[in-house]
Amino acid sequence: MTDTCRMNFRAIAAAIALAAGLVFSPASGALAAGNKIVVELFTSQGCSSCPPADRLLGELAMRDDVLPLSFHVDYWDYLGWKDPFSSAEYTLRQRNYRSRFGLRYIYTPQMVVGGVREGVGSHRGKMLRTIEKVRSRPQVAVTVDHPDKKTALVTIAEGKKPARDAVVWLFAYDRKHSTEIRRGENEGVSLTNTNVVRAIRRIGTWNGAKAEIKVPIDMLGIDQQDGCAIVVQEDGVGAILGAADFPLMKKGS
């Protein structure tokens, strides 16, 4: 096997319909972005080349300066094992990155660092060096407050005006999943996936001026996730200008 799994295809973005039932975990004061570097891994439980990249993402999750997110694509689902966390919506995001980086194809495992660099997620040394190169990029401060249990208030500080209005994303994720793979290329292997994205929401835009975005939790349609990331990104899949992550708690807990 090669160290990447490639496939060209035409994907259709799928909406995620999940029952609501979460509130933001109350916190003392705001949660600030600091200088976290967002690392996105496009992976699949059906790809035999992905487990080393999944393990690297798990290592990155233990660092305070990195915000790692695992997006499970759906184009390996018909090759013997359907990834329970896959979505055409995540595949669409990867296809948009393909256009941005001028790539001929999409592949797994792919890591995108800060929205500005990409590489093979299983190439540990190279990806760690890439993170260090991206570290020097300035970031706008992003904070999240909780006026009440039904609302989150996202504040993006004033900063350099982007060439085009930046998209403000909300990514809801599960911190960890372990899965026994019964079929496909990884048959017989127990895989651990970290910061598994389960829902994507576009919650606003940012044009360089200070912005506040109220997010009503019961309108998110998010169920059973552990945390959320707020990501401010040029053109939706361009350079990431700022990010913050924060915990969720299940309703009634």
208-249 residue pLDDT tens: 999 999 988 766 666 667 888 999 999 999 999 999 988 765
Could you give the CA distance from residue 43 to residue 32 in angstroms, rounded to a whole number?
28
Question: 237 is written with which tokens?
Answer: 């899949």
Inter-CA distances, 171 with 4, 203, 212, 221, Å: 25, 10, 18, 12
More confident residue, 222 or 206: 206
Amino acid letter, residue 34: G
Q: Is the pLDDT of residue 23 over 70?
A: no
Query: Is there a contact between 58 and 192 (Cβ–Cβ < 8 Å)?
Result: yes
More confident residue, 17 or 172: 172
Query: Is there a contact between 156 and 210 (Cβ–Cβ < 8 Å)?
Result: yes
40-83 pLDDT per residue, tens: 999 999 999 999 999 999 999 999 999 999 999 999 998 899 99
Q: Which of 48, 231, 57 is nearest to 156 (CA)?
A: 231
Output the pLDDT for position 234: 95
More confident residue, 149 or 89: 89
Percent of the residues in the chain that have a pLDDT greater than 70, as a whole number: 81
| CA end-to-end distance (rounded Å), the chain | 46
Helix and strand counts by DSSP (H, E) for the chain: 3, 15
Output the pLDDT for position 151: 83
Mean pLDDT of the chain: 85
Q: What domains does the chain contain, in order, with CATH numbers?
A: 20-250 (3.40.30.10)
